[in-house]
Every structure is written in structure tokens, then in C-alpha cells.
Amino acid sequence: MRHIISILVENEAGALSRISNMFSARGYNIESLTVAPTEDASMSRMTIVTVGSEDVIEQITKQLNKLVEVVKVVDLSEAEHIERELMLIKVRAGAKEREDMKRMADIFRGRIIDVSDNTYTIELTGNGHKLDAFIQALDQGAIIETVRTGASGIGRGNRVLRI
């Protein structure tokens, strides 16, 4: 099963490698990993998407908690949560394709953020499925470059992760 794990971690040099090391050393898988400081600059928040059986996920959360710099860990997928990912995608947009490409971006609520004679760069936010769907919907030959941030997540309603 796919799980999305949120981690509050001390914003210290090496914390990221400690966490990613732990995953590789124990053979756990990382589908995506995002990290940035929170409103409190001394702390970072990390979102890791991983796949594993219930037992594996239990071990992952325990092993994360065991790391000295990890402040809190929550498996967001245990309850209602929201997940978002940002994608920037550069596509061919010459005179012929321009209209179509614009329409496509609109359908997916993407925004064109950079334009050149023959390209558009589109910004698209959503869950992973939506970003996948957009890529699928495009003529594969039209895609020049994509970059995705990996998922970030947050609990719904009163469900919060803070210290």
C-alpha cells in the first residue's frame, strides 16, 4: 500500500541524509521526498511517499521516530488528508499547436508561466493522479521537459502535525 508520511525534523545539517540513509539501509522504498523549513525556521517538514505492507510502514515510522533529530512523525494516509504536487512542464507550442496546448492547460487548470516562440512552460498543481493524467493527455512528442516536486501533504480539518 502507498503511504504518505509527514515528518517534523530539526533543521540541522545532515538530518536529510540520516533519514534517506535509514530508508536505503533498511531496504525501504522512497517514491518521493520533499523537504523545506516550516514557519519555525528551526524545523523542517518532510513528506515521504513510500510503499509497503502494514508491518513495513509500522517499522518505518518507528525507525523514523528513533532518529535523534526527528521531532514527530505521522502517517497521513491513516486518515483524511490532502495531497498536492507541483509540476512544471515544458511543451512544444509552435504556431500549429499553440491553441490546443492552451486549451489543454485550461482543462487541467494549469497556468502558462513562460512562453517562447515554440514552447510553453505550464505550471500544474494537484495530486499525483491529476499530474499523471495531464501527461497522458498530451501528445507524448510534445513534451520537452518535466519536473515534479513530489507530494506534500496535510491532514484535513482539525488534524494537525505540530509541536
Partner 1 sequence: MDRIKGVELSGAEIVVRCLQEEGVEYVFGYPGGAVLYIYDELFKQDKVRHVLVRHEQGAVHAADGYSRSSHKVGVCLVTSGPGVTNAVTGIATAYMDSIPMVVLTGQVPTHAIGQDAFQECDTVGITRPCVKHNFLVKDVKDLAATIKKAFYLASSGRPGPVLVDIPKDVTTHQCEFHYPETVTMRSYNPVRKGHAGQIKKAAQLLAEAQRPMVYTGGGVILSNAAPLLTELVQRAGFPCTNTLMGLGGYPATDRQFLGMLGMHGTYQANMAMQHCDVLLAIGARFDDRVIGNPAHFAQNPRKIIHIDIDPSSISKRVKVDVPIVGNIPDVLDDLLKQLGGAKTQDIAPWWKQIEEWRARDCLRYDRKSKIIKPQFVLEKLYEITGGDAIVTSDVGQHQMWAAQFYKFDKPRRWINSGGLGTMGFGLPAAMGARLANPGATVVCVTGESSIQMCLQELSTCKQYRLPIKIINLNNRYMGMVRQWQQFFHGNRYSESYMDALPDFVKLAEGYGHRGALIDKPADVEPALRDALARKDELVFLDFITDQAENVYPMVPGGKGITEMILSEEL
Q: Which three cell numbers stand for residue 59?
A: 517499522
User: Is 18 or 102 the residue whose CB approaches partner 1 more closely?
Assistant: 18
User: Which H/E stretch holds residue 21?
Assistant: helix 15-25
The minimum distance between CB 89 and partner 1, in angstroms, equals 35
Nearest to 36 by CA among 3, 9, 64: 9
The CA–CA distances, whole Å, from 17 to 12, 25, 69, 120 equal 10, 11, 11, 35
Residues 63-92, one symbol each (x = binds partner 1 by CB under 8 A, - = not), give x-xx-xxxx---------------------
Q: Which three cell numbers stand for residue 39?
A: 514557519
The minimum distance between CB 90 and partner 1, in angstroms, equals 34
Choices 61-69, 85-93, 104-112, 114-122; region in contact with partner 1 by CB under 8 A: 61-69
Distance, CA of 153 to CA of 31 (rounded, Å):
14
Residues 9-48, one symbol each (x = binds partner 1 by CB under 8 A, - = not), give xx--xx--xx--x---x-----------------------
The minimum distance between CB 67 and partner 1, in angstroms, equals 8
